[in-house]
Amino acid sequence: MTDRVVDISDGPAALSVADERLTIRRGDETHRIPLGEVGVVVVAHPAVTYTHAVLAGLARHGGALIACGPDRMPAAMLLPVAGHHAQAERFDRQAHASAPTRKRLWQQLVRAKIKAQARLLEAVHGSDAGLAALISRVRSGDPQNVEATAARRYWGALFGKAFRRRHDAEDHNRNLNYGYAVLRGVVARAVCAAGLHPSLGLHHHNRYDAYCLASDLTEPFRPVVDRAVFEWVGEHGTDAPFDKSAKAHLLHALIARYNIRGEWRTLFDVLSRTAASLAAVFEGRRKALLLPEI
Same domain, 60 and 105: no
State the total domains in the chain.
2
Core vs surface per residue 2-22: b (16+ CB within 10 A) or e: ebbbbbbbeeebebbbeeebb
User: Which residues span the domain enclosing 136?
Assistant: 87-282
Residue that finishes a domain, picked among 78, 100, 119: 78
- Provide CB contacts within 8 A for 222, sequence distance 6+: 113, 116, 180, 183
Q: Give the pLDDT score at 85.
A: 66
Give 207's pLDDT tier (boundaries 50, 70, 90): low
| 289 found inside a domain | no
- Cα(210)–Cα(197) distance, rounded to whole angstroms? 10
> Both 152 and 189 in a single domain?
yes
pLDDT at 211: 85
Tell whether 59 is covered by a domain: yes
pLDDT of 1 reads: 47
The CATH number that applies at residue 59 is 3.100.10.20
Same domain, 62 and 104: no
Reported as a pLDDT band with limits 50, 70 and 90, residue 183 is: very high
Query: What CATH number does residue 202 fall under?
Result: 1.20.120.920
Query: What is the per-residue pLDDT for 80?
Result: 79
**Interval 222-235: pLDDT, tens:** 999 999 999 999 99
Whether 102 and 143 share a structural domain = yes
CB under 8 Å to 224, separation ≥6 — which residues? 183, 253, 254, 256, 258, 267, 294
Residue 176 covered by a domain = yes
Q: How far is CA 16 from CA 2, 5, 247, in A?
A: 20, 17, 24
The whole-number pLDDT of residue 74 equals: 82
Domain boundary among 78, 103, 119: 78
Q: Same domain for 259 and 145?
A: yes
Verify that 26 and 133 share a domain, yes or no: no
Cα–Cα distance for residue pair 87/14, rounded to 1 Å? 34
Residues above pLDDT 70, as percent of the chain: 96
Give mean pLDDT, residues 118-122.
97
Could you tell me if 186 and 108 lie in one domain?
Answer: yes
Confidence of residue 2 (pLDDT cuts 50, 70, 90): low
On the question of pLDDT at 208 being above 70, the answer is no
Residue 68 forms part of a structural domain? yes
- Per-residue pLDDT reduced to its tens digit, 52-69: 999 999 989 888 899 988
What pLDDT band is residue 206 in, cutting at 50, 70 and 90?
A: low
Task: Report if residue 72 sits inside a domain.
Answer: yes
Contact call for residues 216 and 202 (beta carbons, < 8 A): yes
Rounded to two decimals, what is the model's pTM?
Answer: 0.87
Q: What is the pLDDT of residues 73-89, one digit of tens each?
A: 888 888 876 666 678 88
Within-domain flag for 288: no
Task: For residue 256, count other CB atoms closer than 10 A to its CB.
Answer: 12
Q: What proportion of the chain, given as a percentage, has pLDDT over 90? A: 71
The answer to whether residue 105 is domain-embedded is yes
Same domain? 104 vs 28: no
Average of per-residue pLDDT across 148-177? 94
Query: Which one has a higher pLDDT value, 238 or 87?
Result: 238
Q: Considering only 60-74, 86-100, 114-128, 160-174, which range has the smallest mean pLDDT?
A: 60-74
3-class SS string, the chain:
CCCEEEEECCCCEEEEEECCEEEEEECCEEEEEEHHHEEEEEECCCCEEECHHHHHHHHHCCCEEEEECCCCCEEEEECCCCCCCCHHHHHHHHHCCCHHHHHHHHHHHHHHHHHHHHHHHHHHHCCCCCCHHHHHHCCCCCCCCHHHHHHHHHHHHHHCCCCCCCCCCCCCHHHHHHHHHHHHHHHHHHHHHCCCCCCCCCCCCCCCCCCHHHHHHHHHHHHHHHHHHHHHHHHHCCCCCCCHHHHHHHHHHHCCEEEECCEEEEHHHHHHHHHHHHHHHHCCCCCCCCCCEC
Last-in-domain residue among 78, 107, 131: 78
pLDDT at 271 exceeding the cut of 80? yes
Q: Does residue 59 sit in the same domain as residue 116?
A: no
Average pLDDT over residues 1-26: 90
Do 74 and 91 fall into the same domain? no
Within this chain, do residues 22 and 118 fall inside the same structural domain, yes or no? no
Do 171 and 247 fall into the same domain?
A: yes
Residue 293 lies in a domain: no
Q: What pLDDT was estimated at residue 280?
A: 96
